[in-house]
Homo-oligomer: A and B are copies of this chain.
Amino acid sequence: MTDIANRHKNNPILSPKDLKASDGNMIIECLLNPGAFEFNGKIGLLVRVAERTVQKEGLLSVPIYNNIGKVEILDFKLDDSKLNASDSRVIQYDGVDYLTTISHLRLVWSDNGVDFKEDPAYSSLFGEGEYESYGIEDCRVSKIKDTYHLTYTMVSSNGVGVGLRTTTDWKSFDKKGMIFSPHNKDCAIFEEKFNDKFYALHRPSSPELGGNYIWLAESPDGVHWGNHKCIAKTREGKFDSKRLGAGAAPIKTDKGWLEIYHGATKENRYCLGALLLDLKDPSIVLARSEEPIMVPTETYERTGFFGEVIFTNGHIVDGDSIQMYYGAADEYVGLATFSISEILKTLNV
């Protein structure tokens, strides 16, 4: 047994029934992949909420976000010859792809880290403009000095890229545009500058040579990125044989930067592993999990919107303890704790 996660007894701590849809035309399909942060003594989560539109007789309706972050519904007649609805997740109309669900980032707060609810003083985040018209997904929150850096997946017909918004008060946000061009996601910025640079992990995908690998990039300002280096590839026969990507921001330890990442097999089973990166040069990988540190075992992880999935992009660190929030079966939010020293022990460092 390689699973060293301590799951919370209240798991799943959030389910679709616990939140209201963003508007009367929408239905929540799943809650997943929360970003996590601390602010003013509370723990905040940015939960990805995937919604679909209430369907009307004879029509197929898909949601898109307009320039001001309001959902608009496009109705296609089911008998329209320009419509191709053979895939339930992506439909095509007149040569353009549309997604049948759309995600926003719901902001919820907690005093104890277990019970979360919305606060009317804070708004949730929606897709805004051309590059987010099909939604925003899977946000990592990295606090650098007093500024929270939100890196998230921007989805539109232009492709899937990484967006950045920053905030200091969770009420007003600076939009910094797309920082990694398609196809890219799973971006986590390190929470301090060193070597006079910002660093980030990201996950470009390639249709030809290469694959779904974790890369490292550098930046003078956190907005413009270069010197891309590949630090972790898929491994045949292991838990990360088909794809892998960074979780939340790397954790600074005496031994190196500890990164909890997800790896998936060709059968789309998502587990978590760990990477240890050199403190001074994080392009150097010191150690990597041979076996996963967390695997789908509970019913809410094995069965749901998309079963056999554990995916994390948010945690709170306190001394040796990692309080990790995770998406389970793409439908629920779970909480598990890890001991940093125990993870390092599995890496033999």
Binding site for B on A (CB under 8 A): 90, 95, 97, 131, 134, 155-161, 176-184, 202, 204-211, 213, 215, 217-221, 223-230, 233, 236
Residues in B neighbouring A176, C-beta threshold 8 A: 226-227
Of all chain B residues, the one with the shortest Cβ separation from A237 is B95
- Contact check: which of B95, B156, B226, B236 meets A179 at CB < 8 Å? B226
- How far does the Cβ of A16 sit from chain B's closest Cβ, in whole Å? 25
* 24 pairs, CB–CB < 8 Å, chain A vs chain B: A131-B230, A155-B209, A158-B209, A158-B213, A158-B230, A158-B233, A160-B210, A161-B228, A176-B227, A178-B227, A178-B228, A179-B226, A179-B228, A181-B228, A182-B210, A183-B183, A183-B207, A183-B208, A205-B207, A206-B207, A219-B226, A220-B221, A224-B224, A224-B226
- How far does the Cβ of A275 sit from chain B's closest Cβ, in whole Å? 17
B184 touches A181 (CB 8 A): yes
Of all chain B residues, the one with the shortest Cβ separation from A198 is B224
Of all chain B residues, the one with the shortest Cβ separation from A233 is B158
- Contact check: which of B183, B224, B233 meets A210 at CB < 8 Å? B183
Residues in B neighbouring A209, C-beta threshold 8 A: 90, 97, 134, 155-160, 182
Residues in B neighbouring A213, C-beta threshold 8 A: 158-159
Question: In the complex, A194→B230 CA distance in Å?
Answer: 32
- Contact check: which of B95, B157, B215, B219 meets A224 at CB < 8 Å? B219
B207 touches A207 (CB 8 A): yes
- How far does the Cβ of A175 sit from chain B's closest Cβ, in whole Å? 10
A181 touches B236 (CB 8 A): no
B220 touches A204 (CB 8 A): no
Residues in B neighbouring A159, C-beta threshold 8 A: 204, 206, 208-211, 213, 230
